Amino acid sequence: METKILKTTSADIKTAGEIIKNGGLVAFPTETVYGLGANALNEQAVSKIYAAKGRPSDNPLIVHIAEKEDIIPLVKEVTPNAQKLIDAFFPAPLTIILPKSGKIGKTVSGGLSTVAVRMPQHPVARALIKAAGAPVAAPSANTSGLPSPTNAKYVIEDMNGKIDAVIDGGSCEFGIESTVITLAGETPVILRPGAVTKDMLEEVLGKVEISKAVLEGMKNGETATSPGMKYKHYSPKAKIIIINGNKEKYEKFVNSRSNAFALCFEDDKINIPKVTFGKEGDDLSQSHSLFNALRKLDELGAEKAYARNPKLSGVGLAVYNRLIRAAAFNVIDLDKPFVIGLTGQSGAGKSYIADKLKRQGFNIVDADYYSKKITENNSCVFPELQREFGKDIAKDGKLQRQLLADRAFASPESTAKLNKIMHPAILKLCIEAAEFPCVLDAPQLFESGANGLCSKTVAVIAPEELRLKRIMKRDGITKEQAKQRINAQHSEEFFKENSDFIIINDGRDTDIQIKTLSEKIV
Ligand code: TXA
Ligand code: MG
């Protein structure tokens, strides 16, 4: 199929309207991003949208209307809250979800009992809907998974030969998709943030919630309120890593890197190749250029890009919501000394994994080493230990280890007291030794609270039989003793629940796991 490139003249819009009337597909500009439109009431035409985008069939489309009252036949009822939003905002970068009427087919609504409706601001979009003589179903006009197109060039890149026509209307004002709010439940919930912000909506509706999925990734097995949230999104080919930290910290970090791009703000002083997305503190300029910047990275052949972190207020929340998905939720926090906190079950082979990470270029700080160091002669922790456990636990500047152990491990309370003294002192030394990119190797990562100092946590686990064997061999103890030790520690479930990544060290593909992990993280 040849894809026609149309202009915004009334003759061309009329042609585009005819194409949609006849069951074809037309991409068109809106104030948010380009949409890929079909007659929303023609299921066969709508199914072509899914095919052209490679979109999963359970991810419903937004139905676009030209006039406020055009919503009435599409929904069961225009509820009072819906009416308030329509009066206050329409036409707007705002999509309202309501229970659907019988006019809305299965395909357009992805099998759901609700329908998403939006009245766009863009005059070309509305003229097209009028010319088509029907509501127009339109997702963003990109291949599923890629950044949404904000100009005709990127629509053509994805859709050439797959759709009937594109109307070239220049670049889109907001640059990110509309705010999606559902009114189908008791409280209005924002499913996707956009240029119509939570504050603006609350002024009209009162209390509005933000869906958890806006800021967080979906856990395995979780069901999405908005089906779109469960799919990979906005991903350029380049691997994006968000760098959390102020301008100075970001610049210093990025300028010390090589083989990467900076995805930064316009005024950042950067010495490596860069692509910018707006100005610091100006969320609308950031939303306007984010998707273009992601596409630009690919054009420039970037393999990796370190991104500035937008502020989460106002439209910044929407910018962050897109960027965090483009980054597959990968964030390095420069306010934290360690990139990875490494922990795991006794005998699972944590040190072996640390060694492999070292060969991948990470600097390792071994908490065990510093926990020994802190108990050396005349240590700074002695006065506190003496206050808690008796003067005689240190003699001539030397720690009486056995005595301390007898007293500290006598009850859980006294062990907790020991940890309260030791953990902060050990961590202080670890932090002093940290050099980017740093792994903190700490058996008591979670107990000490050190996980809060790490951008990501990684736990090493292994089958119990293997761990028993390793512990017996390493420490020269019996199977029963080894078992006792294992039982006193956190379970595999604990580590799975609390860590960002798990490495299964059963001697099989650890190298591949480590490579994947380090590629994911830095
Ligand atoms: O700005 C926009 O909204 C653009 C322009 C073209 O209007 N359109 C757009 O559509 O972004 P799309 O399909 O790329 O995103 C629609 C989002 C998806 O995440 C989808 O899952 C969600 O809205 N959605 C649609 N209908 C829904 C429904 N009934 N319930 C929950 N979520 C729905
Ligand atoms: Mg989309």
CA distance 331 to 309: 9
Query: Across-strand partners of 395?
Result: 398
Q: Which residue has the higher pLDDT, 84 or 517?
A: 84
Distance from the alpha carbon of residue 139 to the mean position of ligand 2, in angstroms:
5
Structure tokens at 178: 């509309």
The pLDDT tens digits for 388-406 are 999 999 999 999 999 999 9
Q: Which positions ≥6 away from 413 have C-beta within 8 Å?
A: none
Amino acid in the structure at residue 472 = M
pLDDT exceeds cutoff 80 at 229:
no
Q: Which atom of ligand 1 is nearest to the CA of 32?
A: 1
**How many angstroms does the Cα of residue 216 sit away from the middle of ligand 1?**
18
Distance of CA 62 from the midpoint of ligand 1 (Å): 5
Measured CA to CA, the distance from residue 490 to residue 505 in angstroms comes to 17
pLDDT computed for residue 230 by the predictor:
58
Give CA–CA dist 375/306, Å, rounded. Answer: 40
Q: What is the pLDDT of residues 454-495, one digit of tens each?
A: 999 999 999 999 999 999 999 999 999 999 989 888 999 999
324 Cα distance to chain centroid? 4
Q: Which atom of ligand 1 is nearest to the CA of 112?
A: 29
- Across the range 358-367, mean pLDDT stands at 93
* Contact (Cβ atoms closer than 8 angstroms) between residue 207 and residue 300: no
Contact present, 469 and 476 (Cβ < 8 Å): no
Q: Whose CA is nearest to atom 31 of ligand 1?
A: 226
The residue to mutate among 122, 150, 159, 177, having the most atoms of ligand 1 within 8 angstroms of its beta carbon, is 177
Host H or E run for residue 162: none
Q: Atom 24 of ligand 1 has which residue's CA nearest to it?
A: 60
* CB atoms closer than 10 angstroms to residue 437: 18
Ligand 1 atom closest to residue 192's alpha carbon, by position in its atom list: 19
Q: Which residues surround ligand 2, an ion (CB under 5 A)?
A: 140
Peptide bond into 337 cis (omega under 30): no
Asked if residue 428 has pLDDT above 90, the reply is yes
- Residue with the larger pLDDT of the pair 364 and 257: 364
**Can you list the alpha helix ranges (DSSP code H) found in 206-336?**
247-255, 283-299, 316-326
Q: What residue ranges line ligand 1, CB within 6 angstroms?
A: 30, 32-33, 35, 59-62, 93, 95, 97, 109, 112, 114-116, 118, 120, 138-140, 177-178, 180, 191-192, 226-228
Q: How confident is the model at residue 517 (pLDDT cuts 50, 70, 90)?
A: confident
Considering the chain, what is the average pLDDT of its residues? 94
Question: What mean pLDDT comes out for the span 166-189?
Answer: 97
Residue that has been written with the tokens 């294992």 in this structure: 486
**Burial status of residue 161 (CB atoms within 10 A of its CB: 0-12, 13-18, 19 or more):** exposed
Contact assessment for residue 286 and residue 322, using Cβ atoms and an 8 Å cutoff: no
Query: Cβ of 258: how many Cβ atoms within 10 Å?
Result: 6
Strand (E) or helix (H) holding 82: helix 80-89
**For position 220, what pLDDT does the model report?**
46
Q: Could you give the CA distance from residue 25 to residue 40 in angstroms, rounded to a whole number?
A: 11
Region 188-212 average pLDDT: 97
pTM score: 0.86
Task: Tell which residue, 283, 285, 235, 294, has the closest CA to residue 261.
Answer: 294
CA of 226 to the centre of ligand 1 (A): 8
Q: Is the dihedral of CA 197, 203, 206, 207 positive or negative?
A: positive
Ligand 2 center from residue 278 Cα (angstroms): 21
Residue 222 has pLDDT above 70, yes or no: no
3-class DSSP string for 217-264: CCCCCCCCCCHHHHCCCCCCCCEEEEEECCHHHHHHHHHCCCCCEEEE
Output the residue whose Cα is nearest ligand 1's atom 15.
Answer: 139
In the chain the first and final C-alpha atoms are separated, in Å, by: 42
CA of 36 to the centre of ligand 2 (A): 10
The per-residue DSSP string of 186-201 comes to SS-EEEE--SS-HHHH
Name the residue with the closest Cα to ligand 1, atom 10: 139
pLDDT higher than 70, residue 109: yes
pLDDT of residue 221: 46
Report DSSP state, residue 428.
Answer: H
- For residue 59, report the distance from its CA to the centre of ligand 2, in Å: 10
Q: Which atom of ligand 1 is nearest to the CA of 180?
A: 23
Dihedral angle over CA of 107, 111, 113, 116, nearest 10: -50
Q: How many C-beta atoms lie closer than 10 Å to residue 80's C-beta?
A: 9
Closest CA to 128 of 253, 281, 16: 16
C-alpha 78 – ligand 2 centre gap (Å) = 25
Q: Are 342 and 417 in contact (CB under 8 A)?
A: no
Q: Which of 58, 96, 108, 140 to mutate to test the pocket of ligand 1 (most atoms within 8 A of CB)?
A: 140
The per-residue pLDDT for range 282-334, each reduced to its tens digit, is 999 999 999 999 999 999 999 999 999 999 999 999 999 999 999 988 899 99
Place of tokens 């705010």: 179
pLDDT over 80 (residue 273):
yes
